[in-house]
Structure formats: C-alpha cells, structure tokens
Amino acid sequence: MSVLDGKVAIVTGSGRGIGRAIALKLAGAGAAVVVNDLDDEPAAETVALIGQQGGRAIACNGDVAATDFGDRIVDGALDGLGGLDIIVNNAGYIWNTTIQRNTDEQWQAMLDVHATAPFRILRAASEHFRSSAKREAAEGKVVQRKVVNISSVSGMYGSATQVAYSAGKMAVVGMTHTLAKEWGRYGVNVNAVAFGFIETRLTQEFEGQPAEIDVHGRQFKVGFPADLAKQKYQQISLGRPGQAEEAAGAVYLLCLPEADYITGQVLICDGGRL
C-alpha cells in the first residue's frame, strides 16, 4: 500500500516543470490527481505519464485566474475522482520590470494568478473540507487534509524587477498563515513552500536573446543571461540550481502523514542561497 493511497489531489500548473513533477510525485505515492494547465496538450501529457506509472488522473484545464475556475476545479475533483484531500496551488508565471515601468495591468495580473487564484480555489474547497471533517468526526474518524501553497524567496525577501510578482507570492504566505488558523479544527494542514532558483523554462539560461512563453496571446520573456545565472549559482550553498523533482520533493514532504502536526509554516527550498 502506498502512503497516499485513496487521496485525491489538485495540482495547478501541472502540465510542465515543477507542477508536473509534483503531480507525478503525488501520483507515484498513490494519489489520484487533477492536472491543470492553460493549454490542453501539456496537461494531457502529464495525465498520460501518470497513467503509464499506474496512477489515476484527469485534466481540468484553463486559466486559474478566471472567476469561475476555483469552483470548476474543485467540482472536477469531487465529481471526477470522488474526493479532495490535497491542494497544491502551483500555477503562475513571471512578468518582470522595474516599478516605474510597472503598469496596473501587470500588477493585477501577478496578483490574480499568484494570490487571487489560490484564494478562489481554497474558498471553493472550504465547504467540502468543513462538511467532511464534521461527518468524519461523527463517525469517529480522524482524517488530515493538506494544502501547499507555492511561494518564492522573491516573496519572502524581495527581488529587483519583481515588485508585482513578489507581492503576489508574499500574499499567499499571509493566506497560508490565516487558513492554518481557520482550518486546524477541520484537520487541514496549510503550509507553503518558497522556492529559490529551480531550473524550469522560466529560469532557463540563454545566450543573446531570451526565450519567450505565451500567456493568453501575450509574449513574456523568460530566463537569465548565462553569465548572470552563473553568478546566481555562486550564491547558492549547494553551488547549483535545484531540479523540478527536488522542488516536488519539498511539496511532497508536507503532504505526508508524517507532517500531520506541521501547519502554518513556510518551507524554504533554495539550496541554501539565503
């Protein structure tokens, strides 16, 4: 029997990178997973990979910042997989610039994806968590559920050109502390993981022109010049960036039964950079 057998997890932004690694890690431990991505193809790939390792997964795709998305993905878990025990709010992207060039649209986009989207998902899940806890208590059962919100060291300590991103990532830390207090009575552990320099398409090295990603038809430059990336590596105690699988491991730790008495905490996963 695997440690997460019978659990159902939502992992947003799990079509690629860290999110995919988290989904595969949880599925490998026995959880059924609701996969999400803005685009259908990468989400389908993650669902297929989970199926290949003997797991169960469905996709609920679309923009996590859409006003109806929280209700839609929670209903997807309950109706499609029969429950909801773990929520990992991972979806996000970067839109960086100095504050004097930061537009209202840019500011709001970062808050929407990094703070408002997790808020709506957790609000949508609240009735299920409450009613399930009351029913289980009446039956003499103790069931712990898990929320892991993904933050960043940029949110914890700031980062030049990331005023909007940093604000969104710190907002989710406040949400984590608050819901840990509200939901303890329902047996829900609410924690966050703040990532440092993890190798993904958002942090890829480049020579010359940066790579771009498409979000709603808008092109965003991503990555770091190779010389700047190497400077960043020198600031990390372990001397290298983290891998997506290592980032997933930090989230996985907080989803285990061994973490049932850990709540309201922020685990920094940055290779010792700070």
- Closest to 17 measured CA to CA, from 241, 171, 189: 241
Burial class of residue 82, CB neighbours in 10 A (0-12, 13-18, 19+): exposed
* 3 state DSSP class of 196: coil
Return d(Cα 152, Cα 51) in angstroms, integer.
30
∠ Cα 244 77 214 (to 5°): 45
Residue 54 DSSP code: T
Q: Which listed residue (93, 165, 233, 252) is catalytic? A: 165
Cβ atoms of 238 and 271 closer than 8 Å: yes
Tokens describing residue 263: 């709540």
* 3 state DSSP class of 87: strand
Tokens describing residue 46: 């993650």
* 3 state DSSP class of 80: helix
| CA contacts within 13 A on the Cβ side of 31 | 28
| Residue indicated by tokens 């829900």 | 188
* 3 state DSSP class of 112: helix
Is 165 considered catalytic here? yes
Tokens describing residue 101: 């060039």
Catalytic site residues? 165
